[in-house]
């Protein structure tokens, strides 16, 4: 099977002068993940999203957006398509790499989603790296909060390895000015991400409430399972998002075979991909 990896840095409308910087961040993260593709799809997507969480130009980890009260609450999720194992975390403030914590939950297997203090306690107890919450703060996101610019630029990666196994990882600060405790689609399997070997895997970005209401990622994987091509599914998912909710966003998709695909209805979504 030809391996594939596709990465996005969020669907949105950032100022034009930020486009090149955001695209470069996505390109760097693709390389960080691609060198791990030989270790499997899950390793590749986690390594990619870990790198994205270190890019201050993107809304995940360092560079994540602020909530209404001026705090950063981070969400992340991972899923692998062989055993349909998933792990996700929501509203964590002091975990250095939320995607690593999501991965730890996937491996643990007892629970799919942990939030807030419980998630942080799990991280501390299991040796997941912690961080001072101020580490994630950036002047760019402070300005966005002051102007209430609705920044919503989740990051994500979807991969297929040589054995045909599929995996997806996602990480986000959510949306600027969100209410404390708000979870979007990104930590919810089926809404913001999904993976099923033999069918496909997908990661979404955009208004999380809309993805949640449509359970859009699972819907897309069902279409892949029924034989639709990844580019048709990507386009169809965004058309459905717009038609049913009026929301904007984007998706990246990898099928059981062939080239990755993506679609978005926002002015900008940085994407990078590799096929082996």
By CB under 6 A, is residue 40 in contact with ligand ASP?
no
Compute the Cα dihedral for 132, 107, 275, 235 and give only its sign.
negative
By CB under 6 A, is residue 14 in contact with ligand ASP?
no
By CB under 6 A, is residue 152 in contact with ligand ASP?
yes
By CB under 6 A, is residue 185 in contact with ligand ASP?
yes
Calpha distance 249→154 (Å, rounded): 10
Q: Pick from 89, 175, 199, 214: which binds ligand ASP (CB under 6 A)?
A: 175
Residue 172 annotated to the active site: no
Q: Pick from 9, 77, 87, 174: which binds ligand ASP (CB under 6 A)?
A: 174
| Stretch in the footprint of ligand ASP (CB under 6 A) among 37-45, 81-89, 128-136, 148-156 | 148-156
By CB under 6 A, is residue 208 in contact with ligand ASP?
yes
Contact predicate 168/76, CB 8 Å? no
By CB under 6 A, is residue 153 in contact with ligand ASP?
yes
Nearest to 180 by CA among 92, 121, 114, 102: 92
Q: For residue 139, what are the CA distances in angstroms to 136, 199, 252? A: 10, 42, 29
| Stretch in the footprint of ligand ASP (CB under 6 A) among 89-97, 102-110, 135-143, 168-176 | 168-176
Among 16, 82, 138, 154, the active-site one is 154
Alpha helices (H) in the chain, listed in sequence order: 19-34, 41-52, 98-108, 116-125, 139-146, 208-214, 216-225, 230-245
- Residue 174 CB, nearest distance to ligand ASP (Å)? 4
Q: Pick from 48, 172, 176, 217: which binds ligand ASP (CB under 6 A)?
A: 172
Contact predicate 249/266, CB 8 Å? yes
Q: Pick from 10, 14, 90, 200: which binds ligand ASP (CB under 6 A)?
A: 10
Q: For residue 259, what are the CA distances in angstroms to 167, 191, 252? A: 15, 23, 11
- Interacting residues toward ligand ASP by CB under 6 A: 10, 152-154, 172, 174-175, 184-186, 192, 205-208
């Amino acid at each position: 099977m030809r391996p594939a990896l596709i990465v996005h840095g969020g669907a949105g409308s950032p100022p034009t002068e930020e486009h090149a910087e955001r695209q470069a961040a996505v390109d760097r993260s693709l390389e960080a993940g691609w060198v791990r593709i030989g270790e499997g799809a899950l390793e590749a997507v986690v390594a990619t999203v870990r790198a994205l969480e270190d890019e201050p130009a993107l809304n995940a980890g360092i560079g994540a957006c602020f909530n209404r009260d001026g705090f950063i609450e981070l969400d992340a999720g991972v899923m692998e398509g062989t055993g349909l194992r998933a792990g996700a975390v929501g509203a964590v403030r002091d975990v250095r790499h939320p995607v690593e914590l999501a991965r730890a939950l996937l491996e643990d297997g007892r629970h799919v989603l942990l939030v807030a203090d419980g998630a942080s306690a799990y991280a501390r107890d299991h040796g997941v790296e912690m961080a001072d919450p101020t580490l994630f703060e950036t002047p760019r996101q402070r300005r966005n909060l002051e102007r209430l610019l609705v920044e919503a630029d989740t990051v994500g990666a979807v991969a297929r390895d040589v054995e045909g196994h599929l995996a997806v990882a996602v990480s986000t600060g959510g949306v600027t000015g969100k209410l404390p405790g708000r979870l979007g689609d990104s930590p919810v399997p089926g809404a913001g991400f999904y993976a099923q070997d033999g069918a496909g895997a997908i990661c979404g970005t955009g208004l999380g409430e809309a993805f949640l209401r449509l359970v859009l990622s699972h819907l897309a994987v069902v279409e892949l399972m029924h034989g639709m091509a990844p580019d048709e599914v990507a386009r169809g998912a965004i058309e459905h998002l717009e038609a049913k909710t009026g929301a904007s966003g984007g998706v990246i998709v990898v099928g059981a075979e062939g080239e990755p695909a993506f679609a978005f209805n926002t002015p900008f979504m940085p994407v990078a991909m590799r096929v082996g």
